[in-house]
Structure formats: structure tokens, C-alpha cells
Structure 1
């Protein structure tokens, strides 16, 4: 029996996605990309899932693109473009997912693996993990949204330094740059990621989704546009059961019990 390239499990409202080709350092094979696409579709369709943990098995979170499947240098641009288009939808869906995503980076997050990690909402990293925008090492351009997300996280000067040099950084450097939220011992990483995801899953899911939607677009919008987006989102939030529960629990001086509705 073949082993799935991507493992998927749900517990207490938290979906855990595990890239599961450790012999290949979880490089982005077509089977991993397909598994990620299927996992994101399941999360979108299942209202019981209210937060997500994304991690890798073995010594890597994701070691980037699968170099064995790269288009031949003699291929024309159309072939190469079609190759790239295969992997683009899952990244858009991941970044736009209206449920919080915690990346538990357990080892190497390099190239496209780094791109995937920074598309998540939070990154927790093991103290032996490594981050690198290593695309230039194989004569390529950072992709999978790296040139969108990285400057928004670290600023333009640091983004250029990381992207143009391709140098590796430690998790502690990544935390200093604002990429990583917490650095933990390897044996504590997944438990802490699930703990954070569980806290988020217990929150008002629709309000979190609306907040993510606006934050993800805030750099492209004017203040007036953000105010309008906030007003529309708030109108939706006011109508939710979770808002009613939040108000009721406030007056009853108890912790709210949100359902995601």
C-alpha cells in the first residue's frame, strides 16, 4: 500500500496537514501539491474545522521545488509557464483561507518551502530549523508568492537581501526579522502549534476570517477603502451567533463559548 504524500487529520476543530515525503525532504512533487489542494478544499468545505496546522515529516518542512521535475532548460516559455501554473492555485487558496493557519516549521524551509511558510498566518519554528530564499542558487526567481509576502513581513531592504543573496538564516534570525513568532525545541514544536491553533479554533471563526481578508489586502487599499471594508465586515459580524454569544457572555461575566456561526 502506498503512503499518502500528504497526511490529513482533524481533532477538536483543528486540521493538521503533514507533508509526508521525508525521503525527498518534502520537496514539492505533483503528489504533494495535489494533496495540499485536496486538503485546503476539505478545510473550506468543513465548517467544523476552524484552524489549521501545516507541518512536514522528517527533517524538513519543505525543501522547495522538486528539481527532478523542473522544465528542461531547452523548453520554451509556454512549457515552463504551464509547469508553474500547476502549483499556483493551492498557494492562492492557502493564503486566502478564512481560517487561521499555523506553520510548524520542523526543519528546512527553503525555496518554495519558505514561500509556503510565509503564506501562513503564523510560523512556529524548531530551534534547528533553517530558512532560505535559495532560488538564485539554481538560477531561478523566488516564486509561490515570496515576492508578495516577504517584503510585507520584513520590509523591502531585508526582502531584497534575503532574495538576492539566498543566504540561510537561523530560526532566531527569522524571529528577529518578524518571520517567526516563536522558536521552540523540536520535541515541543507540534504540540505548541496545535495549542495555538486550538486557541484560534475556540475564537469567533467568521470574525477571524473577515479580519484576515482585510489585513491581506490592507497594503493595496487606501485608509478610506479599509474603513469601508471594515464597515462591511462589521455588518456581517454583527449578524453572527458568535457576536450574540460574545455580548451575552460579557454581561453574564463568563468566558464566551463560540461555535463558529
Structure 2
């Protein structure tokens, strides 16, 4: 079905693997198209309650395949290219009302880092290396990096990473808040799957509202945030999962959420 991604579903967890290992999972047009289709598939499948994003081979992703970007013309319209590719992907990732977990290893560079930042949670292997590499080729950050990066690490650190393009190891990425967890390479898959299973077993509607409300909070005032909470809580309070959560609390047992 796909040439450049792998799609696997195990219970409530859908795993999307960027699968251009010979090119360190750099993005060409085909990968953009197939990744979007895979995201859409995971978003629309009611049985999927968590999405994992990973890369095959030696890297998560080194960003854009520069040959594919420049092969048509010497001075391409990169703005139009972005609107058709990364901007669309990042917007879709943010709009999915389910947790998206990034499993990161090896190089996570440029727009590959932008895609990683668009995940809701990020688990890194000790081998992971991170760089806002755009400035090295005379570009500004894209793929949502200008939105997510300062929100995760602060404005001053984001300026440093974007303007210098220096590489960070996994430990430093964890220290500054770029990733949530760092684990040995051999434990990455098991750690991510355990986390994804936990999220997939959670109250999916509530998790979707958590995601949306936190993203909205950066662009809203207090009264808007309070109204978003009220609107979300109205929906969550009518779910089976809320009733189950209350019953489990009163009965002193673990809840069994159905995602509804």
C-alpha cells in the first residue's frame, strides 16, 4: 500500500514508520504524501487511540531531501513547497484528537526535528542527536519549529538553537525540555510501546481535549482558556469514560476506559 512509510496497528496503538532508511528518512514528495495519508488513517480509525511515529534504519529523520526540493528549478518557491508539504503535515498532527508519541533515535535534524516537535510526547534513545540545521544552508526554521521550539525550551534557548544550528545530544535535549524521556537505545521500542499502551488505555476524549486546550492556551487570554475548559468538560462529563472513572475511584479500583 505504501512505498515510503510502514503502518501497523496493535490494539489501540497505530505505529507509523518513516521508511526511507537509505536516505536517513529525509522527506521527498512521496514520503510527504504517504505520511499524510497514514496520519489521516490513524486519525479517522476510532479503534486507534494513540499514534506512535518512528524512523527506520539509522535515523528518525534528517529533514528535507534537498535533491528532491531543488531538482525542478534552481531557485524553487520554498513557501509554496512548505504549504503543500510540512505545513499540512504539522497541522494534521496537531489536529489529531489522540496522543502522538515520537520515538526518536539517531539524527533528528532540520524539518525532521520540526516533525518531532509536533509530536505531543517525545522519547529519545541515547543515540539521538538534534539540530535546527536550517541556518547551515541559509534558511530559517520551518515545519512548525518556530511555533513549538520556543514553547518547549524558551525564547532565549530557541534563538540559540535556531541561529547557531548546533547539535545537541539526547541528555542535553532532555535537560532543556526538548524531549520528555531518554532511554538506552535497546529500550526505546519497549519504552515507547509501554507509554503508547498506557495512553491508548486512557480516556481518549479527555486526552484529546487536553491536547487542544494546551495548544490553544498559548494564543488565548484567561477568559478564553476558562471557556475552553468549560466546553471541554461539558463533553468529557458526558462520556462513558467519565462514569467509569468515577465508579473506579469510588470502588477503589483501576478504571477500564473504553475511549468513549
| Same fold flag (TM > 0.5) | yes
Shift of 1:4: 2.3
Shift of 1:252: 2.1
Name the residue aligned to 2:39.
40
Shift of 1:81: 2.6
Name the residue aligned to 2:243.
244
2:78 to 73, 77, 80: 80
d(CA) in 1 for partners of 2:99, 2:181: 16
Q: Secondary structure at the match of 2:218?
A: helix
Shift of 1:83: 1.6
Name the residue aligned to 1:124.
123
Evaluate the alpha carbon distance shift between residue 259 and residue 3 of structure 1 in structure 2; reply closer, same or farther with a 3 A threshold.
closer
Name the residue aligned to 2:155.
156
d(CA) in 2 for partners of 1:122, 1:3: 26
Matched, 1:12 2:11: yes
Q: Which runs of 4+ in 1 moved over 4 A?
A: none
Shift of 1:106: 1.5
Name the residue aligned to 1:142.
141
Shift of 1:70: 2.1
Name the residue aligned to 1:99.
98
d(CA) in 2 for partners of 1:234, 1:148: 27
Unaligned runs of 5+ in 1: none
Shift of 1:254: 1.6
d(CA) in 1 for partners of 2:2, 2:143: 26
Name the residue aligned to 1:24.
23
Unaligned runs of 5+ in 2: none
Please provide the CA RMSD for this pair: 1.4
Shift of 1:24: 0.1
d(CA) in 2 for partners of 1:118, 1:201: 20
d(CA) in 2 for partners of 1:208, 1:197: 13
Evaluate the alpha carbon distance shift between residue 44 and residue 19 of structure 1 in structure 2; reply closer, same or farther with a 3 A threshold.
same
The total of aligned residue pairs comes to 258
